[in-house]
Amino acid sequence: MNLMDRSMVEDMAKHLNYILHSVCCAGLPESQRSIESISRQSHHPPFSLVSTTTRPSLITASMRYLLFFALAVSWVCSVIGLPTDNGNPPPQLQERGLPYCLFPSRRPASTSFTRSFTSDPISRRRGHFGPNAYESAGNSRLNYRIWEDPVGLTGLYTIIDVAAPDGHPALANYEIEGRRIPIATPNAAGECFQTMTLRSGQRGAATVRWRLDASYTYYLTISEV
């Protein structure tokens, strides 16, 4: 290599070193740039392919900007996605009308059946006593029947039978409750005077009975427990 070729190579190396130095120092503060400029003028190039320094590189600066941009986008998306107060709230479960008579503080069961009835004292002259046909007890998956049974010459009992249909076993535990309210005071609090349990797997009927009293309105409640 002659002297002219060596001079051209040195000039190209100086220009390349200057360009690399300018790119790498783009993110440095002004004071650090001055130090780097003095170092370059004193024939100690700050950038070298062999030695490394602690200044941020172009890749590091790019990562900073990308991180800032990602945080900004995340913040904007979170603000846009905030819930508003004008939306319709989810529907709430409603209380049932008739609570348990034994446990007023307990929430009624989701599967419950209630009906009211009165005892007719003139039914003794109907000429028919004994069990009636079963009726469906609402959504309780049970059947029930209310009938009257004479005892002796003057006695008469009201009987309620509750059972699973067609002789099948009961699918759950049930509470059978009888309440009564005097006909003369229909707004009075009900008295829970009869209770019975029909247990899961039971095939026979659960029965409650009491002496007939026509002065009351009666309420039968069947609740799954």
* Alpha-carbon gap, residue 53 to 60, rounded angstroms: 14
pLDDT at 85: 43
pLDDT digits (tens, 9 = 90+) for 41-89: 544 444 444 444 445 567 777 777 777 777 777 766 665 554 444 444 4
Structural domains of the chain, ranges and CATH numbers in brackets: 3-72 (no CATH), 112-224 (2.60.210)
Say how far apart CA 43 and CA 14 lie, in whole Å.
10
More confident residue, 17 or 164: 164
Per cent of the chain over pLDDT 90 is 27
Residues 187/188/193/198 CA torsion (nearest 10 deg)? 40
pTM of the model: 0.50
Long-range contacts of 60-69 (CB under 8 A, 24+ apart): 60/27, 61/26, 61/27
So what's the pLDDT on residue 5?
54
- Across the strands, what pairs with 159? 147, 209
pLDDT digits (tens, 9 = 90+) for 27-40: 545 555 554 554 55
Of all helices (H) and strands (E), which one includes residue 161?
strand 155-163
Question: Per residue in 185-210, pLDDT tens?
Answer: 989 888 999 999 999 999 999 999 99
